[in-house]
Amino acid sequence: QVELVESGGGLVQAGGSLRLSCAASGRAFSGYSMGWYRQPPGKQRELVAGISSGGSTNYSNSVKGRFTISRDNAENTVYLQMNSLKPEDTAVYYCNAIRVGVYQVYNYWGRGTQVTVSS
């Protein structure tokens, strides 16, 4: 079992920056791929950025070049550095952990943190 707790959200002006953190509890954190998703009001949850257990990263086209995902396995923490924020980035941001086991996929979610970007 993995518990994920997001923090770092808030209200910023367009063009500003925020750094989100996701603190994980549980064993084998380094074996999980981690991701940040977001869900604007009334819309579906979408993948923002992901980082594999090996450290490779991927980003949605809408945030590529502006956001950076990273992980610190020693601290069981994943980060999302968000720069050049736009009003369209306003959403609840969720941390995700996923690992393919022998017989099943392990998939965990945090409760989310609100990011609001004003114009």
Spatial distance between the Cα atoms of 63 and 66, rounded to a whole number of angstroms: 5
Question: In the prediction, which pLDDT does 28 show?
Answer: 82
Spatial distance between the Cα atoms of 34 and 99, rounded to a whole number of angstroms: 9
Local confidence band at 24 (pLDDT 50, 70, 90 cut-offs): very high
The pLDDT tens digits of the residues spanning 86-116 come to 999 999 999 999 999 999 999 999 999 999 9
